[in-house]
Amino acid sequence: MNDVMSMGIHRLWKKHLIEKLDCGKRPNSQEPLNFLDVAGGTGDIAFGLLDHARLKYGDVESTMTVADINPDMLAEGQKRCLSTPYAHSPRINFLEQNGEIMDKIPDNSKDVYTIAFGIRNFTNIQAGLNTAYRVLKPGGIFACLEFSQVEEPALDYIYQAYSFSLLPMMGQLIANDRDSYQYLVESIRKFPNQETFANMIRKAGFYVPGKGYENLTFGVAAIHIGVKL
Ligand SMILES: C[S@@+](CC[C@H](N)C(=O)[O-])C[C@H]1O[C@@H](n2cnc3c(N)ncnc32)[C@H](O)[C@@H]1O
């Protein structure tokens, strides 16, 4: 669905997020990082972060928890993990968890919390943000990549035409599933705009640097950052 919705561009957005975060245990540091990728079923972000840390900083110690509410998505991530350098490694674990609650993740335990194309599906987004704040250590980083709002009116007109008419039709043709694609379009439409979402991150307690977000592809997607001080 991400491929269809973004015409494959979500792969570039994910790569950009990983490079922007630039995480990894630095050679002169004693402390490996504890990553948490929420709604991370496919493992794209999890493997990407671990690869970045390993290839750029020689970090082979930091750990990753992939949390997702859907056991089938976790199974898909675990299957994909088998063809990565982290296959059967104790450094990565997959956990069935509702991102709004995450009762198996202790307070103040994670250095980096990522979520890509997941928080839009939460029933209570603010509860998810409050939980992100709870599980991060002081100094920890929250980073969210999500579909957002195109801010330029003429471009938005074209984008809306694509998403409202073409996408459900493509869903019907590609996956014989018009309804799921219709849901996808509507969930993007309903998701708070960049400013509102940045304010929700602030409300959870995070310090939001600058305006708090970076638009990608004219705002089709955006990266929001928060820091737990
Ligand atoms: C579009 S997929 C994104 C997967 C992955 N992050 C990526 O970008 O490829 C959305 C994911 O959100 C998960 N999800 C939805 N609601 C959730 C919740 N309340 N808690 C945790 N995960 C959730 C779904 O199970 C699904 O795996």
DSSP, collapsed to helix, strand or coil, labels residue 94 as strand
Task: Note whether 88 and 181 are same-domain residues.
Answer: no
For residues 81 and 62, give the distance between their C-alpha atoms in angstroms, rounded to a whole number.
16
Q: Is the CB of 77 under 6 A from ligand 1?
A: no
Smallest CA separation from ligand 1 atom 15, residue: 121
Task: Note whether 155 and 181 are same-domain residues.
Answer: yes
Task: Note whether 39 and 128 are same-domain residues.
Answer: yes
Task: Note whether 119 and 183 are same-domain residues.
Answer: no
pLDDT higher than threshold 70 for residue 126: yes
Task: Note whether 133 and 207 are same-domain residues.
Answer: yes
Smallest CA separation from ligand 1 atom 24, residue: 39
For residues 55 and 35, give the distance between their C-alpha atoms in angstroms, rounded to a whole number.
16
Task: Note whether 139 and 93 are same-domain residues.
Answer: yes
Q: In this structure, what token pair is assigned to residue 81?
A: 């993990």
Per-residue pLDDT of 94-122, as tens digits, reads 999 999 999 999 999 999 999 999 999 99
Per-residue pLDDT of 16-50, as tens digits, reads 999 999 999 999 999 999 999 999 988 999 999 99
Q: What is the pLDDT of residue 5?
A: 67
DSSP, collapsed to helix, strand or coil, labels residue 107 as coil
Total structural domains within the chain? 2
Domain range for 186: 151-190
Q: What is the pLDDT of residue 211?
A: 95
Task: Note whether 89 and 110 are same-domain residues.
Answer: yes
Q: What is the pLDDT of residue 162?
A: 83
Task: Note whether 68 and 173 are same-domain residues.
Answer: no
Q: Is the CB of 68 under 6 A from ligand 1?
A: yes
Per-residue pLDDT of 164-181, as tens digits, reads 888 888 888 888 889 988
Task: Note whether 96 and 180 are same-domain residues.
Answer: no
CA–centroid distance, 13 to ligand 1, in Å, is 16
pLDDT higher than threshold 70 for residue 1: no
Q: Is the CB of 40 under 6 A from ligand 1?
A: yes
Task: Note whether 137 and 164 are same-domain residues.
Answer: no
CA 75 to chain centre: 18
